[in-house]
Structure 1
């Protein structure tokens, strides 16, 4: 399940140009579905059984000074290993959860933290044989 969470987080954040702070929490932060991405933030369209895209509702962001929220349409990339819609669908289908629970969870079963996500990202970069010091995590 953890790998599915990390894969979905990586695929979605890349496809939707998300900032790390939009889909992870600081270590000291407590999850709040009214401010953070939750399962209810994702809507599969036209339907969950054969989605062509998702509507991602971001309740709060650094670039949203009035905290009105914003919705982003993220298209599927069928047949690719980096399809954000397929990764989200896999995350949702076998593992139903409350709409107010965190969209992505870490090893402890709690909302995914920035520290944990960056560590997993650096580990993936290292497995590719690349120098992790050349990749700076932008928040």
Structure 2
């Protein structure tokens, strides 16, 4: 049942990305082009997501388990630090250059074409580089410094 519900949720999410235009990089780039021919329609999509989130999070904070019995893991970080800012900037630059973010990239990848495939490969490479740098950083912190 959990697998079926996960599949249904993924299909509904993907369909929502297609219907809203979020899987169309030219629509996204039009939204991000504030100085040119700006397309404000995605602001309504984002506003709808904020509305749903603002209604759902107060309930999620009170629940220990989802409706399907899975544990709910909400973010615990509350500080704006260098990693958050650099991650947001990296995400924003990638989104602005390509017109894709991870979810819409997967939807576009399923629709076919070279551009989403190239973005997907670059996204996976970026994730692998991040993991490698994280492991190097953790290992440096664990090793005692020689005197």
TM superposition score category, shorter chain reference: under 0.3
Which is richer in strand?
1
TM-score (norm 1): 0.27
TM-score (norm 2): 0.26
Flag the structure with larger Rg. Answer: 2
Instruction: Kindly indicate whether structure 1 or structure 2 has the higher relative contact order, using CA contacts under 8 Å at least 6 residues apart.
Output: 1
